[in-house]
Chains A and B, each alone.
Chain A
């Protein structure tokens, strides 16, 4: 009797574990077939468009697409684990060229696409803008195809400017004066708002830095954040927020928080990436949707030099055994037709021909399309230090932004950041 009951338990346990293996068995196995392209994409409007048209691609090529979709940071975490383990379960990967491109390329995660991009004249690699192309090229090798681009533009409130009798600022000095006027005349509204978190603000500060004649790194590869131009840029950006920004401003604002200040009608000017414009013009998200105007970044002493970068690109996993089909997917997803369709849905692309096509800007506010066109011409191809450990570099060069907002001396903060940044650059060279 007793012994039988033990046997009974053992049998139950065995059946349980067997049942488990049987019912969950859909994990891998059949995906090994090369007819399946495994694509990993970030949550993005671009991805929604692609997802809806994947059946077209499957029909045209006879390939099957297996799509994984994740949030930006989750995607990044997943790449770090999976690519590090040498996975061949990802074929096409959506990645951030400026944030992780260099690290991924140095680690050998990204396949060299140089010969592939130049093969197909109809697909036309030359059509791509210079800034984004530079961002997806590492050590002379093309490792990705840019799909989404961004430039910094000036968001402003038409109604407030009109009420105050102000013209749209064309220079940094005019911007400062206009912000001052509005902050002085309407106590509830800030003159200016922008990102304040030390890491998040770096990209939006970069255009100010370039427009004042500076950069993060100089021609010889040395830190340039302690230069006179950089010090002026830090003082200007931090000063705008300190003097004319929201009262008791948090120094931890990334775009969602800064955008909320603007869309709740609490600020007159806001400098931000153009790719976020729908947050400001969509009445479901913005209280001031009808009164938002756009302009190119005001000119500093060195002119108006906003960044013009590829925020996202598509790459092929070097360990993938399905690289040719992966490339087919990228070629289709980045074709002129697909780029145009995405751009119409509000995703700025990297193809000159699509921007030149009136249909390419037909869905954009007219002033935004003009601001984008002028920004693309003068644009700088990076919006953050071009290093391997971008996250750490951003913390270092972003510290003076926070210091100046909280009232510290920009010059001393920049000197300190510059020496830290130089040490960081030296350590990366080793």
Chain B
């Protein structure tokens, strides 16, 4: 109770004078903004930075607090990851699964979203959303059962299908709100000019939706790249993806922290680069529908 009261006081107290106070000067605001940004960035970057440093350390040095920042760097961990453990295979696997599942989901999802948006098919939209709401874990056993009876476990198709199951609803929902925001009049005037409804979709709406599709595609790509659970059960030794392969550095009586961190860096960097160059789309995807009634 005392804790609660304190919390109430501490949040309540500054709020009251703040209202009376004159607007803070622009300079003070700037300083505050820089400090706040630095704090937040440090907080978010610290684990990544630690990972990067650790990937250049030997296993003895990683635990040595005295060598947190000053140490003699080694590239042995990366040699281990990329040469001996042949991570290029896993990178290729991850990339092809992410790419194909995203592409197929776009091919199926965009027209579906268009239909649902233009013909206000709320119930169908709800059913699609269900797939997104069901926790993936509860699907794993039935999926495994079905795929193993179809002799598909360990192949790329099962992985791609499972990732599509999550990517499709994501794409449908982002695209639906995107299509909702496009004025219907554009298509109507296209039809007046002689296009069929499908022609209008293809020639007018689709080109206007490239930004939306980019958003949806990137988000689904990132999901697929990071997915661990489906790949753990449905992939085989030939189709192992990066998140599963990372655990090869953890074994029962010894953990290769250096190798693990180097592998984690290898997994993180491609997706960070993609995210960096496409952040405009990612942010617009996250706020999609936020400002619309």
Contact = CB atoms under 8 A, between A and B. Distances in A.
18 contacts: A2-B199, A24-B155, A24-B157, A24-B239, A28-B148, A28-B151, A29-B151, A44-B251, A44-B253, A45-B253, A66-B237, A71-B251, A72-B251, A81-B144, A260-B63, A279-B253, A287-B60, A287-B64
Interface string B158-173: 1010000000000000
Contact of B232 (A23, A42, A77): A77
B252 A43 contact: yes
Interface string A1-33: 010011000000100110011011111110010
Contacts of A66: 237
Nearest to B103: A16
A235 B158 CA distance: 53
Q: Is the interface of B mostly helix, strand, loop or mixed?
A: helix
A44 B251 CA distance: 5
Interface stretch (A82-90, A120-128, A220-228, A394-402): A82-90
A272 to B, nearest CB: 10
B244 A74 contact: yes
B60 A82 contact: no
Contact of B144 (A47, A69, A82, A284): A82
Nearest to A148: B252
A275 B252 CA distance: 10
Instruction: Name the residue among A20, A21, A286 with the largest chain B CB count within 10 angstroms.
Output: A20
B141 to A, nearest CB: 5
B104 interface: yes
A249 interface: no
A81 B253 contact: no
Contacts of B100: 20
Interface string B138-155: 001110110010111111
Contacts of A81: 140-141, 144, 233
Contacts of B64: 264, 287
Nearest to B195: A2
Contacts of A25: 155, 157
B10 interface: no
Interface string B235-258: 011110000100110111111000
A77 B251 CA distance: 15
B156 interface: yes
Contact of B202 (A5, A45, A78, A87): A5
Contact of A45 (B104, B140, B160, B254): B254
A27 B232 contact: no
Interface string A61-78: 000001111111110011
A20 B157 contact: yes
Interface in A74-113: 74, 77-78, 81-82, 84-87, 89
B209 interface: no
A85 B255 contact: no
A273 B250 CA distance: 17
A30 to B, nearest CB: 9
A68 B155 CA distance: 14
Nearest to A312: B252
A43 B233 contact: no
B237 A68 contact: yes
Interface of A: 2, 5-6, 13, 16-17, 20-21, 23-29, 32, 42-45, 47, 66-74, 77-78, 81-82, 84-87, 89, 148, 256, 260, 263-264, 273, 275-276, 278-279, 283-287, 311-312
A32 B232 CA distance: 22
B63 A264 contact: yes
Nearest to B142: A85
Given A27-B152, A28-B152, A71-B247, A20 B237 contact: no
Contacts of B239: 24, 27
B81 to A, nearest CB: 15
Contact of B153 (A27, A32, A70, A84): A27
A16 to B, nearest CB: 7
A68 B234 CA distance: 12
Contacts of A279: 253-254
A201 to B, nearest CB: 17
Nearest to A44: B252
A20 to B, nearest CB: 6
Contacts of A47: 251
Contact of B154 (A13, A27, A276): A27
Given A77-B232, A263-B63, A87 B156 contact: no
Nearest to A276: B253
B79 interface: no
A255 B158 CA distance: 37
Given A20-B100, A26-B238, A28-B154, A285 B196 contact: no
Contacts of B55: none
Given A28-B150, A43-B252, 6 more contacts: A20-B157, A21-B157, A66-B237, A72-B250, A72-B251, A78-B233
B236 A27 contact: yes
Contact of B60 (A27, A276, A278, A285): A285
